[in-house]
Amino acid sequence: MDSLTQIVLGAAVGEACIGKKAGNKAILWGAIAGTIPDLDVLVKFFTDTVTANELHRGFSHSIIFCVLFAPLFGWLITRLYKTKEATWKDWTKLMFWGLITHPILDAFTTWGTQLFWPHPYKVSFKNIFVVDPLYTLPFLICVIWAMCYKRTHPKRNKINNLGIIMSSTYMLITLLIKWYTYGIFSDNLKEQQLSYIEIQTKPTPLNSILWNANIETKDHFLIGDYSLFDGKAPIKFTSYPKNHQLLGDLKSHPLIIRLIQLTQGWYTIEKSGNDLYFNDLRFGLFGTGEKDDQFVFCYKLYYDQYGKLQAEERKRDMGKATALMNKLFTRILGKK
C-alpha cells in the first residue's frame, strides 16, 4: 500500500498496543514502524532497476525481519525515554505489530510480498489497489480524532478501534467483490467460448468498483475490465500476442530469466523498429484499454557499450495522467 496508508495503519496499531501507557508516543512510533519496511526502495539508488524490483517487498517485508528487529527497535526506544510507563517488552510488542501489519497489508495488493523470505514465494491476494481512499481516509480520520483525547480517556481507544474495524471491514468487502467479479469474468469467457489457461483479477486504481482481468491463452493474453455498474453487459476482451519467440536465444539469458521470474510468466514481448520491449502484464495498462496503450511496467532491452544486455524501465507519459483519470472515473460508472 502507499506510504500514507502504512503510516496510518502503524499509528493505529501502536495506539492499540500501548496507547494507554505511552499516549501519542505510541502513535508516533507505530507510524514509524509502519514505514520502516518500505525503506527497501532506497536500494534503487545503488543498483539497477530489475534488481531493485526483485528486492522490493523482500527481506524487509518478511516475518523473519519483524522477529529479529522488533526487539532491537524496542530497546532503542527505551534508550530515548527514561519513563517507566512503557517497558522494553511494551515497545518490542508495538514495533513487532507495527512492522508485521505492513507486509500483511501489502499482501492484499498486486505486487506480492515475501512474507516467508528467504522462500521466493510472494503472497498476493490482489483484492485492493495500492492507493484506495475508501480504505485510508476513514482510518486516518479516526486516528487523528483519537489523538485529540488524553491517553487514558475511554473514547480514545474506542475511536481507534472504530478505524481498525472500518478498514478491516472494507478489506473483507473487497475480497467478496473480487470473488463476485471473478465469476463474472469466468462466465463471460465461457459464453464467448474462449478457452484459457489461467485468469488473474485485480481492482483498477483508486477504487474497488472497476476490476481488470488478465487471461492467459496458448499464444495470447486477453485483457478485459468489468464495473459493478456494467450489469449484464458482455465484457470485451482485447488480445495481446505473447510474442515470446521474438526473444530468440535471449530467452535463456540470465537477465531475461530474472524478468520472467519477476513477472511470474505474465509478460509479452513487443518489437518497435530494432528495439525489443519486455512488458509486465501484472499491473495492467497505463491507459483505459486502447490497443496502443503502454503497460505500466515495461523494460527496454538493449546492449550497453560493453556488450552487456540491460533492461531499462520505459518512462511513463505523465502528461496523459489527467485525461486517463477522467476516462477511468467514466469507466468506473459503467460507461464505455
Confidence class of residue 78 from pLDDT cuts 50, 70 and 90?
Answer: very high
Integer CA distances (angstroms), 200 to 196, 203, 303, in order = 11, 11, 33
Q: Report the distance separating Cα 104 and Cα 197, nearest Å.
A: 29
- Whole-number pLDDT of residue 189: 98
State the cell numbers at 52.
Answer: 531493485
Peptide bond preceding 234 in cis form (omega within 30 of 0):
no
* In the chain, % of residues over pLDDT 70: 98
* pLDDT at residue 284, as a whole number: 87
Mapped onto helix, strand or coil, the DSSP state of residue 32 is helix
Helices 133-147 and 24-35, packing angle to 10 deg: 150
85 — pLDDT class (breaks 50, 70, 90) = confident
232: left (phi over 0), alpha (psi -120 to 50) or beta: alpha
3-state secondary structure 89-121: HHHHHHHHHHHHHHHHHHCCCCCCECCCCCCCC
* Residues 32 and 113 grouped into a single domain: yes
pLDDT at 319: 72
Q: Is residue 187 part of a domain?
A: no
Residue type, 193: Q
SS3 12: helix
Could you read off the pLDDT of 278-326 as tens digits, one per residue?
A: 999 999 887 655 555 789 899 999 999 999 999 999 887 777 778 888 9
Tell me the residue length of the chain: 336
Residues 196 and 163 in one domain: no
**Contact (Cβ atoms closer than 8 angstroms) between residue 33 and residue 14:** yes
Residue 301 lies in a domain: yes
- The pLDDT assigned to 151 comes to 94
- Number of DSSP helices (H) and strands (E) in the chain, helices first: 9, 8
Does any domain span residue 185?
Answer: no
Is 1:131 a contact under the CB 8 Å cutoff?
Answer: yes
Summarize pLDDT for 108-163 with one digit per residue, the tens: 999 999 999 999 999 999 999 999 999 999 999 999 999 999 999 999 999 999 99
Residue where the block lists cell 513477472: 263
- Last-in-domain residue among 119, 145, 174: 174
Torsion angles phi and psi, residue 120, rounded to 5: -75, -10
Query: Long-range CB contacts (< 8 A, 24+ apart) of 72-79?
Result: 73/33, 73/36, 73/99, 77/29
pLDDT digits (tens, 9 = 90+) for 231-276: 989 999 999 999 999 999 999 999 999 999 999 999 999 999 989 9
- Residues 317, 320, 325, 331: is their CA dihedral positive or negative? negative
Give me the residue label for grid cell 496523459.
320
DSSP, residue by residue, 188-207? HHHHTT---SEEEEEEPTT-
Out of 54-68, 148-162, 211-225, 310-324, least confident range: 310-324
Please tell me the total count of domains within the chain. 2
Predicted confidence at residue 292, as pLDDT, reads 59
Q: State the cell numbers at 47.
A: 543498483
* pLDDT category of residue 13 using cuts at 50, 70 and 90: very high
Q: What's the pLDDT score for residue 90? A: 97
What pLDDT shows up at residue 318? Answer: 72
What average pLDDT does range 193-221 have in this prediction?
Answer: 97
From 147, 174, 201, the end of a domain falls on 174
Residue ending a domain, among 143, 174, 205, is: 174
Residue 217 lies in a domain: yes
**Same domain flag for 306 and 198:** yes
- In order of 85, 218, 256, 306, the CA distances from 253 in angstroms are 58, 23, 5, 16
Per the structure block, which three cell numbers stand in for 115?
Answer: 512474507
Predicted local confidence at residue 82, as pLDDT: 74
Range of the domain at 335: 192-336
Question: Cell numbers at residue 282, please?
Answer: 501484472
Q: 229 and 203, same structural domain?
A: yes
Confidence of residue 84 (pLDDT cuts 50, 70, 90): confident
88-90-94-100 Cα dihedral, nearest 10 degrees: 80
The answer on 200 and 163 residing in a single domain is no
Interatomic CA distance for residues 75 and 25, integer angstroms: 15
Q: Residue 286, Cβ neighbours under 10 Å: how many? A: 18
Q: Does 181 map to a domain?
A: no
* Same-domain pairing of 152 and 203: no
Other beta carbons less than 10 A from residue 182's beta carbon:
16
Same domain? 158 vs 242? no
Q: Are 119 and 194 in contact (CB under 8 A)?
A: no
